[in-house]
Amino acid sequence: MLALEIKEQGRSPKNGLARLSGATGPLIGLLALCVFLSLGTDTFLSVRNGLNILDQITVLGIMSVGMTFVILIGGIDLSVGSVLALSMMVMGWTANIAGLPMGVAILFVLLGSAFCGLLVGLLVTAFRVPAFIATLAMMSAARGVANMITDGQQIVGFPDWFMMLAIDRHFGVLTATVFLMLAVLLVAWLFLKYRPEGRMLYAVGGNPEVARLAGINVPLVTIGVYVVCALLAGLAGIVLAARLDSVQPSSGFGYELDTIAAVVIGGTSLSGGAGGIGGTLIGVLIIGVLRNGLNLLNVSPFLQQVIIGVVIVLAVGVETLRRKRA
């Protein structure tokens, strides 16, 4: 009986309408936003602007995949922005100051960011520290170490091939960094949809105790999710460094809020157990399109923050009403 309940929690809905129900509202909102901006500006509805939006959401898109996993199990991660900054500084110091090959620097970034996630996962599982507190502590520690590496100074200049990853458009359309984001999204979607381990995330988020009684190693799943989230934050840091051709310890400030917003706007429940990568992609696009459109309309950056905050509140409110009616 317990195993059957876990199986039902992790199973995808049977019909297409049910599968899309959590993301239908955000999708309609995205389409309405695109129509409004197309009428309000002359440059929004163009191929060049569309490609620019894709370039601009690469970092957010990669980070949001990890955050989706975390929120699916009922957790939260406030440290992703600081882990991104720490990863960038580790790569910059290793490649430009220590003089190691860029490939080795990237490997150190991925290992270091995964270690940050491991620490958070152990705090949450072994020491029973609430995820909010554990990731808040990691946010402060990682940002501090990032500043310590170069005493708060930025590092500029990377190999040409690395910078071209975010500039050179393959087939005249997409950059390597966009391809990377799409690959991460696709792998995550396949993982959640077809792998038993992916369905375990829904089970843990739906009811951790039932998941444990059904044989799922809840602490191991939790640790693995936080490791993946931090690892993807490190990968996003590599992408951002390629885009900027520089690294600085202040990078990623506030990214954790944008990442959580994208996931929540996409229909993933903050209480865990419901949501998916498709909705997260829509949420990322909504934030990217909204920022791009507001810039085209010459809206003040300060007012943009207010508008995006209102959008987040509306998204959470709609999701709450939908769950009550379900």
Q: What is the pLDDT of residue 304?
A: 86
Nearest-angstrom CA–CA distance, 284 and 290: 10
Task: Give the three-class secondary structure for 246.
Answer: strand
First to last CA, the chain: 23
Question: Are the beta carbons of 277 and 189 closer than 8 angstroms?
Answer: yes
Cα separation values, 219 from 72, 225, 267, Å: 15, 10, 25
Residues 251, 86: Cα–Cα separation, whole Å: 9
Q: What is the pLDDT of residue 4?
A: 40
Local mean pLDDT, 10-residue blocks, the chain (326 residues): 44 41 77 92 92 96 98 97 97 95 96 98 97 97 96 93 93 92 98 95 96 95 98 98 95 92 90 93 95 92 87 76 70
User: What kind and span of H or E run contains 75?
Assistant: none
- Find out whether 125 and 67 touch, Cβ atoms under 8 Å: no
Residue 313 has a pLDDT of: 82
Round to whole Å and give the CA distance between 244 and 272: 35
pTM of the complete model: 0.92
Residue 253: predicted pLDDT: 92
Structural contact between residues 230 and 79, judged by C-beta atoms closer than 8 angstroms: yes
* Phi, psi dihedrals of residue 175, rounded to the nearest 5°: -80, 165
> What DSSP letter does each residue of 293-317 carry, written as one string?
HHHHTT--HHHHHHHHHHHHHHHHH
Residue 194 and residue 40: Cα distance in Å, rounded? 42
Burial class (CB in 10 A: 0-12, 13-18, 19+), 170: exposed
- Structural contact between residues 22 and 202, judged by C-beta atoms closer than 8 angstroms: no
